[in-house]
């Protein structure tokens, strides 16, 4: 009667040494009891021995003598012919050209980039620059704190030697004009009154040292001067050259930033 081992054909695995210890013991016991399986296992074993005996070929030493050298040299030759090797050699021969070309290209792109930034980029703003002082519309905020004013002291280009003070200060709210200013119509009168209101020395003073009455009076005088200056600038050319030469700017702010040297 055929056992489970006979049916499962585990004899090949037994002969091939593929069974675990307990399985091997199990099959080994079975071989002692089953003649058919014993004969089958012996047959498999004989076939294996025959194949191993025949299969072990004594290779002549000369047969493989040049194999390693040939393979390695061919691999080296193939590597030398590879695209990467060709590229490496090309780069090796041309590397100075590549370095020069790279430098020129880098300089070109850098100049192009900087030029583009300067041309299309935003203009740099410095609040203490003259252009910023003259064009910055935010300085009204400073004046509203009673801490800042833009004083422009100037003399006419072809005028007399008296100095005038101009301002382009704008006020958010219309201040009450002192009555003493209302009667002043000429520039000389306004400048004289402004000189009296300030220090009388012709030098601008810090807004913080001014009393509210002085500030109000000075502001009104500047407004009148600006109004008069605007009327003169809009007058016909034959009315005389009333343009002024600005020779000093002083901008008094909370941080006391000063621009000088015009």
Partner 1 sequence: MAVETFVKPLRALTWSDSASADWALVQQCAAGDEDACTRLVTDHQRMVYQLSLHLLGDPQEALDLSQEVFLRVFQMLPKFRGQSTLRTWIYRIVVNHASNRQRWWRRRRRAQQVPLDEQLATHGELAESRNFALPDRVLQQREVAGLVWRALNQLPFDQRAVIVLREIDGLSYEEIAMSLGVVVGTVKSRLARARENLREALRSV
Compute CA distances 255 → 17, 142, 215, 237, whole Å. 96, 11, 19, 41
Binding status of residue 78 toward partner 1 by CB under 8 A: yes
How many residues sit close enough to partner 1 to count as binding (CB under 8 A)?
46
Binding status of residue 64 toward partner 1 by CB under 8 A: yes
Q: How big is the chain by its Cα radius of gyration, in Å? A: 53
Binding status of residue 260 toward partner 1 by CB under 8 A: no
Query: Do residues 139 and 148 make contact, with C-beta atoms less than 8 angstroms apart?
Result: yes
Candidate segments 49-57, 94-102, 152-160, 243-251, binder of partner 1 by CB under 8 A: 49-57
Site residues (CB under 8 A) for partner 1, limited to 4-43: 9, 12-18, 28-29, 31-33, 35, 38, 41-43
State the nearest-atom distance from the C-beta of 122 to partner 1, in Å.
53
Taking CB under 8 A as the criterion, the residue among 71, 91, 106, 245 binding partner 1 is 71
Query: Do residues 26 and 3 make contact, with C-beta atoms less than 8 angstroms apart?
Result: no
Binding status of residue 72 toward partner 1 by CB under 8 A: yes
What DSSP character marks residue 153? E
Query: How far apart, in whole angstroms, are the C-alpha atoms of residue 143 and residue 235?
Result: 30
Which among 7, 11, 1, 9 is positioned nearest to 31, based on CA atoms?
A: 11
* Residue with smaller CB distance to partner 1, 50 or 91: 50
Query: How far apart, in whole angstroms, are the C-alpha atoms of residue 244 and residue 161?
Result: 11
State the nearest-atom distance from the C-beta of 63 to partner 1, in Å.
6
- Residues in contact with partner 1 by the rule CB under 8 A: 9, 12-18, 28-29, 31-33, 35, 38, 41-45, 47-48, 50-60, 63-64, 67-72, 74-76, 78-79
């Amino acid at each position: 009667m055929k056992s489970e081992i006979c049916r499962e054909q585990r004899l090949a695995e037994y002969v091939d040494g593929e069974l675990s210890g307990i399985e091997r013991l199990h099959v080994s016991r079975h071989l002692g009891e089953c003649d058919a399986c014993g004969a089958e296992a012996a047959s498999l074993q004989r076939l294996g021995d025959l194949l191993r005996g025949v299969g072990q070929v004594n290779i002549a030493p000369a047969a493989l003598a040049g194999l390693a050298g040939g393979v390695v040299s061919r691999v080296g030759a193939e590597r030398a012919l590879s695209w990467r090797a060709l590229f490496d050699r090309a780069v090796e021969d041309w590397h100075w050209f590549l370095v020069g070309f790279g430098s020129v290209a880098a300089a070109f792109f850098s100049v192009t980039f900087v030029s583009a930034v300067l041309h299309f980029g935003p203009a740099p703003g410095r609040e203490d620059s003259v252009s910023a002082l003259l064009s910055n519309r935010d300085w009204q905020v400073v004046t509203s704190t009673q801490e800042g004013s833009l004083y422009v002291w100037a003399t006419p280009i072809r005028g007399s030697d008296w100095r005038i003070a101009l301002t382009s200060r704008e006020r958010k709210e219309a201040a009450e004009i002192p009555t003493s200013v209302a009667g002043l119509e000429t520039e000389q009168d306004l400048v004289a009154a402004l000189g009296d209101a300030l220090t009388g020395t012709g030098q601008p003073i810090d807004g913080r040292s001014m009393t509210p009455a002085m500030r109000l009076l000075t502001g009104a005088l500047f407004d009148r001067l600006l109004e008069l200056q605007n009327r003169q600038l809009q007058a016909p050319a034959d009315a005389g050259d009333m343009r002024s030469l600005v020779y000093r700017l002083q901008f008094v702010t909370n941080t006391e930033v000063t621009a000088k040297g015009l």
